[in-house]
A and B are shown apart, each in its own frame.
Chain A
Amino acid sequence: KNEVEQSPQNLTAQEGEFITINCSYSVGISALHWLQQHPGGGIVSLFMLSSGKKKHGRLIATINIQEKHSSLHITASHPRDSAVYICAVGVDSNYQLIWGAGTKLIIKP
């Protein structure tokens, strides 16, 4: 079993829909990251969380430390949100990351 599991693997939705991507982990962590990777490879760090909830524009990330679970939400989704969303957890103070497999999101106009 992978230490970081994401679901769903693939998600196709219509523009405007509310999107939820889930991440569950089985190890003790120091922080959890949500990253976005566009076609072509560039990776952008969206959030780093160790507790609670963070919001940036239409993106919201939550984490429940007790349940070892995090969610990334996108409100009013747009085709430009189409990308691979990756959850990664930092497991020690040196922040070597364990990566989820990613969720490929396609938003259709």
Chain B
Amino acid sequence: KAGVTQTPRYLIKTRGQQVTLSCSPISGHRSVSWYQQTPGQGLQFLFEYFSETQRNKGNFPGRFSGRQFSNSRSEMNVSTLELGDSALYLCASKGQQRTPQYFGPGTRLLVL
């Protein structure tokens, strides 16, 4: 099976812009979670989608949103970018309950 893929791998934006990141889970996986990783805050949970519904949400402002499509692919959107949004955004997919999450390579976002 192909692994979790994320596009783009690298992105440079300026403050105030918006960005959309994409994640394609492992075939058959219906759960997709998004994480933000920064040097100062470590890994932080953004949200989880399951069968096109947001099932869990972390403590991030409303500028961070996501969605999941019927094929389980997920997108994450960040509007009105701030310098502090510069981070590695990781996506992970999971199959059945009590199985591991599998991570994508991440999208490295730099906000100038």
Contacts and interface: CB of A to CB of B under 8 A. Distances in A.
Interface of A: 30-31, 33, 35, 40-45, 48, 50, 86, 88, 93-97, 99, 101-102
User: 6 closest pairs, A vs B, by CB?
Assistant: A43-B103, A41-B106, A99-B43, A48-B100, A45-B100, A41-B88
Nearest to A92: B56
Interface string B42-63: 1111001000000110000000
Interface string B87-112: 01010101001111111011010000
B90 to A, nearest CB: 6
B105 A30 contact: no
B86 interface: no
B37 interface: yes
The dominant DSSP class at the B interface is strand
Given A41-B88, A86-B43, A94 B106 contact: no
A103 to B, nearest CB: 12
Interface of B: 31, 33, 37, 42-45, 48, 55-56, 88, 90, 92, 94, 97-103, 105-106, 108
B45 A97 contact: yes
A42 B56 contact: no
Given A94-B55, A94-B56, A44 B101 contact: no
A93 B97 contact: yes
A102 B42 contact: yes
Contacts of B88: 41
Contact of B42 (A43, A96, A99): A99
A43 B56 contact: no
B97 A41 contact: no
